[in-house]
Amino acid sequence: MTAAEPRICVHGLGYVGLPTAAVLANSGYEVVGFDVDPEHRQNLKSREFTFEEPDLERFVDRALDDGLTIAADPEPAEFHLICVPTPYDRNLDRTDLSFVQTAVETVAKILRSGDTVVLSSTVPPGTTDGLLRDVIEREGLSATEDILLGYSPETVLPGNTLAELRENDRLVGTAADQPPDRIVALYDSFISGDIRITNATTAEFVKLIQNACRDVNIAFANEVAKLAHEFEIDSRESIALANEHPRVDILHPGPGVGGHCIPIDPLFLKHGNDVPMLIEVARTVNDGMVGFVTELLEAALDRVAGSTVAILGLAYKGGVADTRESPAFTLVDTLETAEVGDIQLSDPYVMPDMVDREVLSLEESLEGADAAVIVTDHPEYGALDPAMFAERMVGRVIIDTRAMLDEERWDTAGFDVYKV
């Protein structure tokens, strides 16, 4: 890229915004990164990184040297990419769009004719062509004639964010059926995947139904697991045999669903409507798996109250340190309500300063435990040594919610292993 290439301002330097800004800067663009959190901005300027993501520190480091500036305020640019959080307000049962509202109000004040605004945050359908368009036009610019307004969702997986930002297919939708050429040219300059074109509302809807589909499919697997326990058969064997059919692909059951996307995004489809949805049932099933794991533990132990339980895995998925919406913490709360005596937590990726609870080493978490619950499918857990567990635990109960263990080996070592 040359100095003649467009300047880009990225609003929000979180899990998506920071990697996006870094990828663009490392592709040769002049990039201004803005975040409302002054401490976060200062940390980035000082090259102190709080994200646990492979290669991200090195990539951002290089970007700060080459073309990324961390700014105290948003600055004029030919492109404004909005990557701010959109939490779900469970009290109001609707999406909290306050961060998007603030970001677009700030952008609207510095927009110039010919600029392009792209929203990447996960939002309810109609947000780009509704909220964003209204705010921009209140400032005097037409969102159909003066600027290009679009939506392009991220579809990255924590632990592989940088690769997926550059390699995944990209969906681009524009407001009011505007030509998407400028947005397509920007993404085409740094991604190797295909770019698919639609309108903004469809693009918003597609992002939500992708994650809702995964949530519903996981819920079916979890229902299968619960039914298998009723019939006293192995759910994993049953699913594997069912999947031999060429048109059947049942997923793996587990202790629940974590991360920001799958447990949250499907709820955005409820925003502003009262249509009864299978999606809500799936959410109930998946959120209820922590209760099912607790029932397994209660059935395995003579006495849950006063027992010591080791929780292995705090991240929501294996191989990463991301604890957002992790079922591990819901399980801890549930066990505390059941008056479990001591809950000892460990995770090979989650460091003690990342969460509000004490995180021990694996060995420490097993000391004096009556039972251990494997919550996260970290690859390290597939090679756990039953002899080491036997040396430290006083009980011999393992709840393996991810089917990580060789059941025969652990049975030979004297352990009772219960799988989901």
Lowest mean pLDDT, pick from 270-274, 298-302, 312-316, 383-387 = 270-274
Q: Is the pLDDT of residue 2 over 60?
A: no
* Nearest Cα residue to 397 out of 416, 369, 382, 373: 416
Residue ranges, comma separated, of all CATH 3.40.50.720 domains in the chain are 8-199, 287-419
User: How far is 231 from 226, CA to CA, in rounded Å?
Assistant: 9
Position 155 scores a pLDDT of: 87
> How far out from the chain centre does Cα 217 lie?
17
- Cβ atoms 74, 105 nearer than 8 A: no
Lowest mean pLDDT, pick from 7-11, 294-298, 302-306, 413-417 = 302-306
- Tokens read off for 117: 């605004």
* Nearest Cα residue to 381 out of 344, 410, 413, 356: 410
User: How far is 196 from 178, CA to CA, in rounded Å?
Assistant: 15
Please state the φ and ψ torsions of residue 179, each to the nearest 5 degrees. Answer: -65, 130
Containing 283, the helix (H) or strand (E) segment is helix 278-287
Query: Could you tell me the fold of the domain covering 8-199?
Result: Rossmann fold (3.40.50)
Q: What is the CATH number of domain 287-419?
A: 3.40.50.720
- Tokens read off for 260: 């920001």
Strands of 179-298, DSSP E: 195-199
Q: Is the pLDDT of residue 153 over 90?
A: yes
Mean pLDDT of the region 112-137? 97
- Tokens read off for 393: 């635990």
Higher-scoring residue by pLDDT: 334, 302: 334
Lowest mean pLDDT, pick from 21-35, 154-168, 290-304 = 154-168
Kindly indicate the confidence band of residue 306, based on its pLDDT and cuts at 50, 70 and 90: very high
Q: Is the pLDDT of residue 52 over 80?
A: no
- Active-site amino acid positions: 207, 261
Q: Is 225 helix (H, G, I), strand (E, B) or coil?
A: helix
The pLDDT tens digits for 186-241 are 999 999 999 999 999 999 999 999 999 999 999 999 999 999 999 999 999 999 99
- Cβ atoms 187, 170 nearer than 8 A: yes
User: How far is 128 from 123, CA to CA, in rounded Å?
Assistant: 8
Position 276 scores a pLDDT of: 61
Lowest mean pLDDT, pick from 18-22, 25-29, 201-205, 277-281 = 277-281
User: How far is 275 from 196, CA to CA, in rounded Å?
Assistant: 29
